[in-house]
Amino acid sequence: MSIFKKIFGSSENEDQSKQTTQGNILETYKNIPWMTDLRLENISICLNAGFKPATSLPTDLERQIRPKVEIAKRLNAIKAIVLWLMVSEQDLSNERILNFVVTNGLDLFLAEDEKHILNSPRNDEELRNMIGWKFENTWPLAWYFGYNVPDITGQMTTGEQMQEILINYTCPLDGKIEDWVRTKETVSDEDLKKKEDLFYCLHNAVRSAQLGRQTVPPTFDPVGNGGVIHERRHSLTWMLSMGIEWDETDLST
């Protein structure tokens, strides 16, 4: 063994120690009476990424998937308000966006704090600064229709990613969402439930970290990165909360 390994230890030993620790923690979860295979798999993903959800989390959660068209309308409702604020009226007229909203009944899929956006100036800087959080809501909704798997690191969705989603994974502005959705493959109910459960666990670890506990990776910001996890979890849980409005989605952990 080299002098450096004697003094500092080796990365191999650190990796082995980390794996042993994670294995011991996972054994604790396995001994929980109500534990399920799905939850154990998600706990393992969390631990490998540096997140530590509580052992007390229930696994028997009431989840019922919404009709595909409702998920599509929520996705496209966000599209409308993003385009309203992020594209100039010279490049995209008010009438075209508003016709898209009215034709597809998207006002029913806008949250209360979102509805006033379509009555606001297109260049409202305050609203533009806040719209980034809607990007995080958008990613899981677009994933349901074939976009990339939602990231769990807490890094914010980029403008380039949002542009790709709006161009390739939403209904055209002159289209009918009912027609658009018939042509789209979606993720399976099983995969949606599994992904929602993963973000439920991640969200629990984030909230614990916001209370001062060491339940997230060292470089993870519980507020900034945690907000990303929160917003993505919101969309996933809403998709599995049939009959519940966006603002009433149960985001408890």
The domain tally of the chain equals 1
Partners of 241 in beta bridges: 64
**Among the ranges given (27-36, 186-195, 241-250), the one the predictor scored with the smallest mean pLDDT:** 27-36
pLDDT at residue 6, rounded to an integer:
47
* CB neighbour list of residue 4: distance below 8 Å, 6 or more residues apart: none
pLDDT at residue 30, rounded to an integer:
86
Percent of the chain's residues with pLDDT above 90: 82
Q: Per the domain annotation, does 252 fall within a domain?
A: no
The answer to whether the beta carbons of residues 221 and 154 sit under 8 Å apart is yes
Confidence band of 191 (pLDDT split at 50, 70, 90): very high
* Amino acid identity, position 25: I
- Over the stretch 22-76, which tens digit does the pLDDT of each residue have? 667 888 888 888 889 999 999 999 999 999 999 999 998 889 999 999 999 999 9
Kindly state the tokens that stand for 152.
């769990």
Q: Per the domain annotation, does 20 fall within a domain?
A: no
DSSP result, 88-132: -TTTS-HHHHHHHHHHTTGGGGS-HHHHGGGGS-TT-HHHHHHTH
Round to whole Å and give the CA distance between 158 and 132: 9
Kindly state the tokens that stand for 12.
């191999």
Round to whole Å and give the CA distance between 184 and 163: 19
Q: Per the domain annotation, does 240 fall within a domain?
A: no
Q: Per the domain annotation, does 90 fall within a domain?
A: yes
Partners of 64 in beta bridges: 241
Q: Per the domain annotation, does 37 fall within a domain?
A: no
Which 8-state DSSP code applies to residue 87? Answer: S
Per the structure, the complete domain to which residue 175 belongs is given by 68-182
Round to whole Å and give the CA distance between 184 and 145: 6
Q: Residue 79: is its pLDDT beyond 50?
A: yes
Round to whole Å and give the CA distance between 225 and 153: 8
Q: Residue 18: is its pLDDT beyond 70?
A: no
Confidence band of 7 (pLDDT split at 50, 70, 90): very low
Q: Per the domain annotation, does 106 fall within a domain?
A: yes
Our CA angle for 13, 18, 24, nearest 5°, is 125
